Amino acid sequence: MSSDAKTHAFARNTGVPLAPDWFEKVAVNTPAAVRRSESLAGRRSLKKEWQAAWLVNAIRCMDLTTLAGDDTPDRVARLCAKARRPLADHILTGLGLDSARTGAVCVYPTMVAPAVRALAGSGIPVASVATGFPSGLMPLKLRLAEIRYAVDEGASEIDIVISRALALRGEWSALYDEIAAMREASGGAHMKAILATGELRTLRTVYKASMVAMQAGADFIKTSTGKEGVNATLPVSLVMARALRDYGAKTGFKIGFKPAGGMKTAKDALAWQVLMMEELGRDWLRPNLFRLGASSMLGDIERQLEHFVTGRYASSSRHALA
């Protein structure tokens, strides 16, 4: 466990019995959610050293990810090297930092072992997608077996995908049972429940699915696989943050949040951190409660930090990920 996680440790979510009355009658005002999301950018003006500090924090909270069909152990090893040293030496020196690192590296189950080897001694956890990612359209027995395989390979975080059809049909008991079984299969590994919000159609369904996932024991709720037509958006993230807040008020548990998919720029990294700060507070600006699922975003953050340090923008080829 990192020193940051030790300093800000909190009780892990144990889940609660399914309680439909917590979410069945909840209404979501979609236009209001959109307006609130659009207003966030103007609520905090982050310039110069303040912007740089928030961008460095985004790196600390980033799940550096490769989920490509042509992933290899060598590619994963290069990505892990970037996770260990996400910023060039001259940028670190200019920022007055001795080191920096990402929050985790996220890979497919078969790439977990190479990632664990490449990150040995770094303290950076390995997250693995599982349960038939990205669609989740596999028999439950096989989805649970995939979780156990990834954990056996050394994954300390598991990103599961929910059955969207169950959420769309409002079969909350069946969805709860599946997620609870996945949490049990994850054992000591923290479980992030991917809702694939772009396929849930309404913000009200997003809220309900968020609440069911937390009741079933999810340690994090996550917006997207990155493979849907619509991935992380600020209105969806706002609704999920409100669900986190409501669940915490009822149970006392702090649940993490991970937006993923479609976020490519330093500006995106700032926007989602502002959302966390405004809606949930400072605790959700730390990697034990907040992760950014990203790959190309890191390159733009490094480019912006180089400009802060040197006054010049470097070409994107100077900041290749792997």
Domain range annotation of the chain: 26-46+109-294
Could you tell me if 218 and 191 are in contact, meaning their C-beta atoms sit under 8 angstroms apart? yes
State the Cα angle at 201 between 195 and 203, rounded to 5°: 75
296-316 tens-digit pLDDT: 899 999 999 999 999 988 766
78-116 tens-digit pLDDT: 999 999 999 999 999 999 999 999 999 999 999 999 999
Cα–Cα nearest to 128, from 143, 141, 147, 114: 147
Can you give the pLDDT at residue 7? 41
pLDDT at 8 over 60: no
Could you tell me if 163 and 143 are in contact, meaning their C-beta atoms sit under 8 angstroms apart? no
Can you give the pLDDT at residue 318? 64
Residues identified as active-site: 159, 222, 258
Q: Does domain 26-46+109-294 have CATH number 3.20.20.70?
A: yes
pTM of the model: 0.94
